[in-house]
Chains A and B, each alone.
Chain A
Amino acid sequence: MRYLPKSQSDREAMLSDIGVRSVDDLFAAIPAQYRLTRDLHIPRSYAESEIVEFFRDRAAENGQGYSTFLGAGAYSHYRPVVIDSLVSRGEFFTAYTPYQPEIAQGTLQSIFEFQSMICELTGMDVANASMYDGSTGAAEGLMMAVRVTGRHKSVIAASVHPEYREVITTYARHQGMPLSTVGYSKNGRVDLEALDKAVDGETAGVLIQSPNFFGTIEDVSAIADIVHKKGALLVVSIAEAVSLGIVRPPAEADIVSLEAQSFGVPLGFGGPYCGVMATREKFVRQIPGRLVGETTDRNGKRGFVLTLSTREQHIRREKATSNICTNQALVALMCNIFMAIYGKLGMKELAQQNLAKAHYAAQEFKKSGAKLTFDGAPFFNEFVIQTNNDPHVINDKLLDQKIVGGFPLKKFYPELGNASLWCCTETTTKASIDAAAKEVAR
Chain B
Amino acid sequence: MNSKIKKASTHISQNEGLIFEKSSPGKKAYKLPPLDVPDVDSSQLLGVLQREDLGNMPEVSEIEIIRHFTRMSTWNYAVDHGMYPLGSCTMKYNARVNEHVARLGGLAEAHPYQPERISQGALRIIKMLSDQLIEITGMDAITLQPAAGAHGEMTGILLVRAYLESQGNPRKKILVPDSAHGTNPATAAMCGYAVENLKSNAAGMVDMASLEAQVNEDVAALMLTNPNTLGVFEQEISKIADLLHAKGALLYMDGANMNALVGKVRPGDFGADVMHLNLHKTFSTPHGGGGPGSGPVACKKILEPFLPTPVVVTKPNGMLGFDYDRPQSIGRVRMFYGNFGMFVRALAYIMANGPEGLRQTTEDAVLNANYIRKHLTGAFDLPYDTPTMHEVVFSDRVQARNGLKTGDLAKRLIDYGFHPYTVSFPLVVPGALMIEPTESESKEELDQFIDAMKNIADEAENSPDIIANAPHNTRVTRLDETAAARKPVLRWKIKLNEPELVTK
Contact = CB atoms under 8 A, between A and B. Distances in A.
A131 B418 CA distance: 29
A62 B121 contact: yes
Contacts of B55: 120-121, 344
Given A90-B79, A318-B189, A340-B29, A97 B290 contact: yes
Interface in B459-499: 471, 474-481, 483-485, 488-493
B46 A343 contact: no
A96 B353 contact: no
B247 interface: no
Given A337-B65, A404-B114, A14 B371 contact: yes
Residue of B40, B70, B386 with highest tally of chain A CB at under 10 A? B40
Contacts of B199: none
Interface in A143-186: 161, 163-164, 166-167, 169-171, 173-176
Contacts of A58: 106-107, 121-122, 124-125
B65 A82 contact: yes
Contacts of B76: 91-92, 95, 103-107
B363 interface: yes
A293 interface: yes
A293 B485 contact: yes
Given A23-B363, A407-B113, A167 B336 contact: no
Interface string B337-374: 11111101000101111111111110110111011001
A263 to B, nearest CB: 12
Contact of B488 (A55, A76, A291): A291
A317 B186 contact: yes
Interface in B121-158: 121-122, 124-125, 132, 135-136, 147-151, 153-154, 158
Interface in A164-217: 164, 166-167, 169-171, 173-176, 217
Interface string A236-280: 000000001111110000000000000000111111100000000
A59 B65 contact: no
Nearest to B47: A378
B122 A269 contact: yes
A402 B127 CA distance: 26
B35 A353 contact: yes
Contact of A316 (B68, B182, B193): B182
B53 to A, nearest CB: 8
Q: How many residues of A sit at the interface, in one of the four size bands?
A: 35 or more
Interface stretch (B97-105, B206-214, B297-305, B396-404): B97-105
Nearest to B192: A174
Contacts of A30: 233, 235, 264-265
Contacts of B106: 58-64
Nearest to B92: A3
A435 B253 CA distance: 53
A302 B484 CA distance: 11
A113 B20 contact: yes
A18 B387 CA distance: 12
A268 B107 contact: yes
Contacts of A48: 97, 352
B118 interface: yes
A389 interface: no
A93 interface: yes
Q: How many residues of B sit at the interface, in one of the four size bands?
A: 35 or more
A386 interface: no
A344 B109 contact: no
B346 to A, nearest CB: 12
B405 interface: no
B109 to A, nearest CB: 6
B12 interface: no
Given A163-B336, A167-B333, A347-B57, A330 B122 contact: no
B162 to A, nearest CB: 9
Nearest to A307: B484
Interface string A31-65: 10011100111111110101110111111111110
A329 interface: yes
B374 A136 contact: no
B259 to A, nearest CB: 13
A296 B353 contact: no
Given A86-B66, A269-B110, A324 B150 contact: yes
A124 to B, nearest CB: 9
A132 B144 CA distance: 14
A331 to B, nearest CB: 6
Contacts of A313: 150, 181-183, 185-186
Contact of A28 (B80, B111, B387, B441): B387
B439 A4 contact: yes
A43 B135 CA distance: 11
B504 A300 contact: yes
A13 B443 contact: yes
Given A100-B410, A101-B476, A267-B108, A340 B488 contact: no
Contact of A272 (B122, B341, B364): B341
Contacts of A134: 335
A120 to B, nearest CB: 4
B94 A102 contact: no
B389 interface: yes
Contact of B479 (A28, A297, A347): A297
A112 B378 CA distance: 42
Nearest to A91: B73
B135 A294 contact: no
A268 B289 contact: no
A320 B186 contact: yes
A95 B361 CA distance: 21
B477 A89 contact: no
Nearest to A134: B335
A293 to B, nearest CB: 4
Interface in A66-112: 66, 68, 70, 72-74, 76, 80, 82, 84-86, 88-107, 109-112
A62 B120 contact: yes
Given A91-B74, A113-B492, A297 B182 contact: no
B325 interface: no
B18 A322 contact: no
Given A39-B356, A57-B121, A271 B339 contact: yes
B60 interface: yes
Contacts of B56: 120, 344
A344 B292 CA distance: 28
B192 to A, nearest CB: 3
Given A35-B265, A40-B263, A98-B289, A353 B364 contact: no
A309 B182 CA distance: 12
Q: 6 tightest CB-CB pairs across the interface, nearest first?
A: A270-B336, A330-B288, A59-B106, A45-B354, A63-B118, A174-B192
Given A40-B355, A44-B355, 15 more contacts: A26-B387, A43-B354, A59-B105, A73-B112, A91-B73, A93-B286, A94-B78, A103-B471, A163-B335, A271-B292, A317-B182, A317-B185, A317-B186, A340-B19, A378-B47
21 contacts: A3-B93, A10-B443, A55-B348, A98-B289, A107-B76, A170-B330, A170-B331, A175-B190, A272-B341, A295-B489, A298-B478, A302-B501, A307-B488, A308-B488, A314-B181, A318-B189, A323-B150, A327-B290, A341-B65, A348-B54, A356-B39
